[in-house]
Chain A
Amino acid sequence: MEKSNKRFVCILFILLALLFTGNPPVWSANVTALSNPVKSDPGNNTSIPVFELPMPGSEREKSYLGLSGTGNFKIGQIKAQVLIIEVFSLYCPHCQRTASQINELYQKIQERPDMKEKIKMIGIGVNNSTYEVDSYRKRYKVPFPLIPDENMEISKMLGVRGTPTFIGIKVNGKGTQKRFYFEEGGFQDTQQFLTEIIKLSGLK
């Protein structure tokens, strides 16, 4: 066998090894392909790539985020110091089960005069259409903006592998946003989560 072919076999074995390690295999395959641009360990200060999101439909949602106009926006334009993103899906039973808890998180932030202008929340509906995101909003009376990510482009940029995933981002208007929190599956206690977000983001 030629040298070049040997190298090829080697690459192939590495690929196959990546495919079949871990449990379940689907999950590990997914991690292999989506491990960048963001690593999945929480608490690190990774920069997140600059990308655009579709502008929320309602004026109330836009004014909450300090946005105006139509088209797209970037995270850096959001009027806040910290952004909490919940990546969810209409088709995710776990998201459905915890929807009221996430609404409670929003309420708790609104009840803090020192934090409500500094921490904002959005939801990203992975693989959901506008209609599907609207259905979810209506069903759970979600008070914060929900943005559809029908082609999963936004979720991939954020390094998301499943739903629900919670991401904390330090927002600055200069375009480079840093992620300080990344957690799959949700949280137990709302107050504790909020305290952790405030602490990890350096707001207090």
Chain B
Amino acid sequence: MRVQKKKWMDLLCLSVFLVAAGVAVAYGQSGGFSESIYPVEKLKPTDSVPKLKVGGVAPDFNLPAVAGGKVSLSQYKGKKNVVISFVPAAWTPVCSGQWPGYNISKDLFDKHDAILLGITVDNIPTLYAWTKQMCNPNEKLWFPVLSDFYPHGAVASKYGVLRSEGIAERALFVINKKGIITYIDVHDINQRPLLDDLAKALEKVK
């Protein structure tokens, strides 16, 4: 009997936990297109093995962009500092707010002569529909959004941020004009990184 009671306790705890997780996730939603956001339960904070280090060379890539054409990391070498924002997947709660926040913080990136590259493992049509709803109908995100869809998550994998479910971590990399990594934040996937921390990382980039 005691054992059985313990099982029910576990279940009760689990349901309370699910409610709490729901609360955390819902705050990422916003009135605009919250109906389209797929509800996600709390995930394991990180689920990948780091492959890169601060001070190391950032691996190059060449990925298709939502706006058309391809974008490579090396095209910014000697010209711009680069912030790469990997987010787990389109149409999920926290990510659906993260880039709109960056979209209205262009000043921060300009101030530090930096470009932002947003990357997910979704395909281009999905990213097109998703990012279109992040801003006003006649506007576009100011930064390139790149698709690491095929070969699936190859760039995320090179950067050590491909999770076992096949989605990317919520991760930020700052890369200086020489192509050296100056900041890595593989964040708890369930939470949005503070803009403060990225601003501090950009202050330090040389």
Binding site for B on A (CB under 8 A): 2, 5, 8-9, 11-12, 15-16, 18-19, 24-27, 29-30, 32-34, 89-97, 126-127, 129, 131-132, 135-136, 138-140, 152, 161-164, 184-186
Known A-B contacts A5-B4, A30-B22; A90 and B31 likewise in contact (beta carbons under 8 Å): no
Chain B residue nearest to A2 in the complex (CB) = B1
Instruction: State whether B195 touches A135 (Cβ < 8 A).
Output: yes
Is B98 an interface residue when CB atoms closer than 8 A count as contact? yes
Instruction: State whether B135 touches A32 (Cβ < 8 A).
Output: no
Known A-B contacts A32-B19, A33-B19, A132-B196; A93 and B33 likewise in contact (beta carbons under 8 Å): yes
Determine the chain B residues whose CB is within 8 A of the CB of A29 once the complex forms.
18-19, 21-23, 26
Q: From residue A180, how far is it (CB to closest CB) to chain B in Å?
A: 21
* Complex Cα–Cα for A18 and B16 (A): 11
User: Is the contact region of chain B dominated by helix, strand, or loop, or is it mixed?
Assistant: helix
Binding site for A on B (CB under 8 A): 1, 4-5, 8, 11-12, 15-16, 18-23, 25-35, 37, 39, 93, 97-98, 100-101, 103-105, 107-108, 133-136, 192, 194-196, 199
* Complex Cα–Cα for A69 and B64 (A): 54
Q: Which of A19, A92, A162 is B19 in contact with, Cβ under 8 Å?
A: A19
Q: Which of A25, A33, A92, A138 is B30 in contact with, Cβ under 8 Å?
A: A92
Instruction: State whether B23 touches A162 (Cβ < 8 A).
Output: no
Given contacts A27-B29, A163-B30, 14 further A-B contacts (CB under 8 A): A12-B11, A15-B16, A18-B19, A19-B19, A25-B22, A32-B19, A34-B23, A90-B101, A90-B105, A127-B27, A127-B192, A132-B101, A132-B196, A162-B29
Instruction: State whether A132 touches B35 (Cβ < 8 A).
Output: no
Instruction: State whether A93 touches B12 (Cβ < 8 A).
Output: no
Determine the chain A residues whose CB is within 8 A of the CB of B1 once the complex forms.
2, 5
